[in-house]
Structure 1
């Protein structure tokens, strides 16, 4: 293998502070009106036998609390007096348990360090929850996701409804908190954008290392190790999702994660990988390059077409645009290029309208990015696509996947063998920016990962 490029390790210690979480809670309380919100943390999840997966906090809970322990429950209570509106139920300090699983903050710790008004042991939730929900006009709780907490919420609400004829009041509705919370999460603050820059920067460095390390005769698994070692040595939690390291025809499997094949001379290598940093913000980058350092004629033609489509789509990211326009821009460039190459036949508009390209390009051009890799937030409001505005972050990732896995649509040309087994995707993370800050209306957070054709052959 060629010598591995050395990239300096960068600290990720400057996490979002509690002041930011407090501001988020305040905005959420204002949106709740008179409804009380019950927001559970994530539980521990069994991997096998008595071994558990590494803990990953629920993103909604983390967004509001910054608290990284399992099985906690947060109450946001706008109907209560000031000083009683943020209540947290947590696992108590318990030396016998902590010697096995690590230190807990406990009730005193969360009050002193996490801005909590009132804290209780988790075991008190069944007894105290009805009183805390009393007087709320509604209850905001995500049904179907929290099996240990949901019966307690429903029992408390049922009790209110049973007493309503006598006391004259009850929470009139059980509503989902997601639309309110996810609207907040979609619009990133300057602090969040800085964290995303950090995650994207580490992810970009890993891609540069991977390209330096790849060579015929190596393995996909070795390249995965280079990438994820850099994530960890840079202070990240690890990969944000299962790293995709797909040589040759494996790249035509969109979520290929076996990463067990040999890197072959003459093939392309598609790498889709990003890190998750300490406060859960993520990078998500895809790059595709020739393993031996030289594109074949067919590989080059398709690579340059995908790159052209991606550049055009990124250029369309600006305030007032939409994610649908970003997709439509990339799609038109791809279809026009595929018609020129003879891989499609017909007129551009009719091919797009009929979906006759989908055996070669079967996914959308991007998704929101933030605390989740496929982050929350609506793409449409009824019949209308959501307008892009400063603070939104989305991926832009067109691709082409030429194989015989999907049937060629009627009226489209059969695929010649020389094209088969070529899978290409190019993905960047793009923040929508105010035109007064950046005239182009966007910032490519992952620009440090090279993608020009000449760089891929460097």
Structure 2
């Protein structure tokens, strides 16, 4: 992995264990997933496991044991070195590498987990484990806990219960460290370049797949692992399908092309950008008017990203400008506040305005704390992505005008990745242009 630093993960483990108290955490890695027959999908590590360990192999388990003595608090169970297996599936670090490179206090072959787990969990006041996702490990955790309960009458000690490690981990992951912000800047730089490339090569008669291929080749040739998610390259009315990924249609003269695509780095930090532009280089009057509304909403929403603000305020800012613009264009009628309260805009704008970004594209972290929206803090990174989608797919709410054919088939979304700073915000994806003038040629 590029720039691997075991100290980064060691600091994270220390913070995590400090908040665990006397609980013992069991954090499994991802397993390989079958694509078809005996072929597997490319491996993607489980993000919580990677955040704490940096270890990028399947079928491993990390134990974080603050109740144990120094030198026994970080234990990795991994696939052992096996030259015969490595001929088929590639290099393994094994138990020695788990200690020497990845900083484990102790490491064991994975097939010893069932035997050794009860001993490592003994003395913990609780067991931190995410139930429902890793069935084979879960059965071992429950068995070890059950043995403690069975012997409680004789020993007087047992873990009091299972607790979820994710609230602690996800609070830590929500605020990005300086190292993480640098990695996100790199992912956004490569992703921005790919969007600029796409706009420069797009012409009527090309296929959506050609544009996708050019962008993803740029990702790989610049050191990224590949696309962070299924790239959306949607010409014309396809852009009104929010998660369109077929990417097989020809690009028509006079249509818009919506591209929602970003790269994932070797250490899983992601870019997530959407740009929309005319295939032939010139907006029609209707396209320009709708694009200008979305752009105004997006820029205003980005402007309110700052410490003490909220993701909810970002959405509300964008939504009001979108609705005002749609009323001005006659696509909605009535009082703006009433339209928003009733949701009469949802046939034209049906999603929220953004999400957290980090190791996961839709990254972890709470948007609300009880009844209140969570305040933005320096180090948080979110997307800002309002859009408008004009089609016949959803019925027009009662009292709103039917849509004239000249508007139909126009789908527009503009998305940037924005980091909260001490004094405001930083647009990480500024290298991907978005002005009306920049979208034309």
Q: Are 1:16 and 1:191, in contact at CA under 8 Å, matched by a contact in 2?
A: no
User: Shift of the alpha carbon at 1:15?
Assistant: 3.1
Q: Which of 407, 430, 438 is matched with 2:418 structurally?
A: 430
1:158-177 alignment runs, 5 A limit: 158-177=146-165
1:64 correspondence with 2:47: no
Instruction: Determine helix, strand or coil for the equivalent of 1:394.
Output: strand
Which residue of structure 1 lines up, in the alignment, with residue 255 of structure 2? 267
Q: Are 1:244 and 1:272, in contact at CA under 8 Å, matched by a contact in 2?
A: yes
User: Shift of the alpha carbon at 1:18?
Assistant: 1.0
TM-score, normalised with respect to structure 1: 0.96
1:119 correspondence with 2:102: no
1:81-160 alignment runs, 5 A limit: 81-160=69-148
1:447 correspondence with 2:435: no
User: Shift of the alpha carbon at 1:16?
Assistant: 4.8
In 2, the alpha carbon distance for the partners of 1:214 and 1:183 equals 41
Which residue of structure 2 lines up, in the alignment, with residue 5 of structure 1? none
Which residue of structure 1 lines up, in the alignment, with residue 210 of structure 2? 222
Instruction: Determine helix, strand or coil for the equivalent of 1:412.
Output: coil
The number of aligned residues is: 441
In 1, the alpha carbon distance for the partners of 2:123 and 2:195 equals 54
1:379 correspondence with 2:361: no
TM-score, normalised with respect to structure 2: 0.99
User: Shift of the alpha carbon at 1:166?
Assistant: 1.5
Which residue of structure 1 lines up, in the alignment, with residue 270 of structure 2? 282
Q: Which moved more, 1:16-25 or 1:311-320?
A: 16-25
Which residue of structure 2 lines up, in the alignment, with residue 395 of structure 1? 383
1:325-364 alignment runs, 5 A limit: 325-364=313-352
Which residue of structure 1 lines up, in the alignment, with residue 295 of structure 2? 307
Q: Which of 208, 232, 239 is matched with 1:244 structurally?
A: 232
Q: Are 2:24 and 2:124, in contact at CA under 8 Å, matched by a contact in 1?
A: yes
In 2, the alpha carbon distance for the partners of 1:331 and 1:55 equals 38
Q: Are 1:313 and 1:327, in contact at CA under 8 Å, matched by a contact in 2?
A: yes
Q: Are 2:2 and 2:267, in contact at CA under 8 Å, matched by a contact in 1?
A: no
Q: Write out the 4+ residue segments of structure 1 that deviate beyond 4 Å after TM superposition.
A: none
1:182 correspondence with 2:170: yes
User: Shift of the alpha carbon at 1:196?
Assistant: 0.1
In 1, the alpha carbon distance for the partners of 2:68 and 2:95 equals 20
Instruction: Determine helix, strand or coil for the equivalent of 2:135.
Output: coil
Over aligned residues, Cα RMSD in angstroms?
A: 0.6
Give 5+ residue unaligned stretches, structure 2.
none
In 2, the alpha carbon distance for the partners of 1:160 and 1:326 equals 49
